[in-house]
Structure 1
Amino acid sequence: MSELLTADRIEEIGNLGSTSPDPAALVAELVGAVDEGRVADPDDTGYALLVAADILAQAGDLADALALATRAIAEQPDEDAYARAVRGGLLLRLGRSDEGMAELTALRPLLETNPNATYLVDELAEAGHTDLALEWLTGALDAILERTRTQQHESEDAQDEAAAMIYGLTQRRHTLREEMGLPHDEYDNLADRLRAASNHALDALDDGPATLLYWPQAEFDALLLRWPALVDSYPKTWDEHRTQIERALVEASGLGGGDLGVVAGTAEGLAAFAGDKPVDEETLDGYADSLDEVGLTAWPPGRNDACWCGSGAKYKKCCLPRSRS
């Protein structure tokens, strides 16, 4: 029997993409595994087809890419939003504008509820509809910020989700406006402020093996309650904190960083480490170093492994998408 196609192999093929000397062979490997029922995790069937579609699209074979994206939707109809967005973008690029816009417009509400849904505007921009992509991003931000102003009694989870949404949308909008050569506006300034809040995590990547100090949810709350002076060093919500850690690790990896990982801190542990010393950036870095040998969690985990943040969910369903929003 032929070898099973694992999630790691699918990701490896996706990274090779059209830079491979034989992209057709990669597509054949992916589609063949799906046809023969050799995908190790059935949940990755659509993933395999979409990676194959992306390779074909990069090679200019939009029609065959569209066929695979359409098949991905049929294979996994319960989790088809991304596949539908890819299909919509391909339809636009093939000149089937009415069909493509209908597909993407039906998904547009996700921009206000799903932190990962900026792939919708990526598809629009790729197809040359940058003005519309910017309009959708701005409209989603307007709606979310209005909702946070008017719904004062939202749950903590809802507030965390809104914070993650605002971060992702402002960053993607800011990037798009820079690509379009547009001057800064109020939302661009907000994007800059939110990005600056990530510097604490990024600073830890300067020297040697990159280990980031991460605070589980209860410890994050306890940390800021015990040392209010640290409020300006961290984002307002735990969800944004773990999002920043994930993005910082992705950025470090993209810059060639190796031996990446996180250590989970505790408020009591920091208090014992600091003693009479002030709890500042230097103390936090020293505390993180003290945890390296006893509590290091290597990053990234496998797509189907438990997420590094301790949520109990699979990485592919938890923090992995945060780096793509």
Structure 2
Amino acid sequence: MPELLTADRIDEIGALGLKSPDPAAFVAELVGAVDEGRVADPDDTGYALLVAADILEQAGDLADALALATRAIAEQPDDNAYARAVRGGLLLRLGRSDEGTAELTALRPLLETDPAATYLIDELAESGRADTALEWLTGALDAILERTRAQQHESEDAQDEAAAMIYGLAQRRHDLREEQGLPHDEYDNLADRLRAASTHALDAVDDGPATLLFWPQAEFDALLARWPTLVDNYPPTWDEHRTQSERALVDASQMGGTDLGVVVGTVADLAAFAERTGNDPTSEETLDEYADSLDEAGVTAWPPGRNDTCWCGSGAKYKKCCLPRSRG
């Protein structure tokens, strides 16, 4: 029986395909699994096609990448904003300016409601339209700030959401303007103030440490096999573990956390630490102390750049691996 294509395998293929001088076989494996209905989780069908599209794009085959992005939209029409953004960016890079601009413009309102929608800005910037990207970021900030002033009696949750949106958009705009060599303006000053004010924000977060303990796939499986009671502390699969980790980091960031990072644990190290300290390796206190003990050994900064290798160790680019997981 043909093997099912899991999310982990999709990520692995994406990483291998991006590095390969001959990526056709990796694209064929992804598309073949979709054609034959062998994607383990049907919700990953569009993702598999987008990873294949990314491999082709990096190889310079923009036309076939566009075809796969278009198919990803058709395969999952109810959850296609990201795929439509990818399609819009590819249209721009293929010189089909009117079509690409229309595709992205239709999604532009998401910048005012969805914290993850800065993928629209990525597509514009990667297509040489940084001026438009900055215009959209400025417009979104204007709209959210005006809405906040007009609705001062909103719930605390709504106010927190608006604050997180303002923080994220201001930082993205600030970074893009820096890349363009532009002088500071009022929103840049706001971004600086917000960043400075958030330095100690994590002190107020009960479950949001600045450094998160993460288990690579083999270590995660070994962890639950050695100490089965840890199923109460962790989700049942590694894919869910990294998804939860990404979302926890996103939540901490949106609450103003800075200098966030990930430390990688191993079963052997945890066992040795517990024996050395005389603690129970399955207790939350021991796990926290173990994570603290790893800080000096090396912290992977989070988030990585959108085109950098993902923090989870899959080898895929962040924007194609764990970044989309925070949108679920």
| Coarse TM-score class (shorter-chain normalised) | 0.5 to 0.7
CA distance in 1, matches of 2:37, 2:258: 34
CA distance in 2, matches of 1:294, 1:110: 38
CA RMSD of aligned residues (A): 3.4
- 1:66 aligned partner, one-letter code: L
Offset, 1:127? 1.0
- 1:243 aligned residue: 254
Asked if 1:259 is matched to 2:258, the reply is no
CA contact (8 A) 1:46 1:72 kept: yes
Gap regions ≥5 residues in structure 2: 204-209, 214-249, 267-282, 292-299, 303-321
- 1:50 aligned residue: 50
- 1:131 aligned residue: 131
- 2:286 aligned residue: 293
Asked if 1:140 is matched to 2:146, the reply is no
CA contact (8 A) 1:202 1:248 kept: no
Instruction: Map 1:129-208 onto structure 2 (within 5 A).
Output: 129-200=129-200
- The 3 A distance-change label for structure 1 pair 242 and 188 is closer
- The 3 A distance-change label for structure 1 pair 54 and 248 is farther
TM-score by length of 2: 0.65
Determine which structure has greater relative contact order: mean sequence separation of CA pairs < 8 Å that are 6+ residues apart, divided by chain length.
2
- The 3 A distance-change label for structure 1 pair 89 and 63 is same
Offset, 1:125? 1.1
CA distance in 2, matches of 1:40, 1:297: 35
Q: Deviations over 1:253-274 (max 9, x none)?
A: 5xxx5239xxxxxxxxxxxxxx
CA contact (8 A) 1:246 1:322 kept: no
- The 3 A distance-change label for structure 1 pair 120 and 294 is closer
- The 3 A distance-change label for structure 1 pair 243 and 70 is same
Q: Deviations over 1:27-75 (max 9, x none)?
A: 1121111111111110011011111111111111000000000000000
Query: Which moves more between the two structures, 30-39 or 16-25?
Result: 16-25
- 2:145 aligned partner, one-letter code: L
Query: Sequence identity, in percent?
Result: 80
CA contact (8 A) 2:168 2:254 kept: no
CA contact (8 A) 1:170 1:191 kept: yes
- The 3 A distance-change label for structure 1 pair 4 and 296 is farther
- 2:307 aligned residue: none
CA contact (8 A) 1:141 1:169 kept: yes
- The 3 A distance-change label for structure 1 pair 125 and 294 is closer
Q: Deviations over 1:212-235 (max 9, x none)?
A: 59xxxxxxxxxxxxxxxxxxxxxx
- 2:113 aligned residue: 113
CA distance in 2, matches of 1:110, 1:71: 22
- The 3 A distance-change label for structure 1 pair 17 and 166 is farther
CA contact (8 A) 2:202 2:257 kept: no
- 2:81 aligned residue: 81
Query: Which moves more between the two structures, 41-50 or 160-169?
Result: 160-169
Secondary structure, aligned partner of 1:78: coil
CA distance in 2, matches of 1:52, 1:6: 14
Gap regions ≥5 residues in structure 1: 204-209, 214-238, 261-289, 301-318
- 2:41 aligned partner, one-letter code: D
CA contact (8 A) 1:82 1:119 kept: yes
- 1:170 aligned partner, one-letter code: A
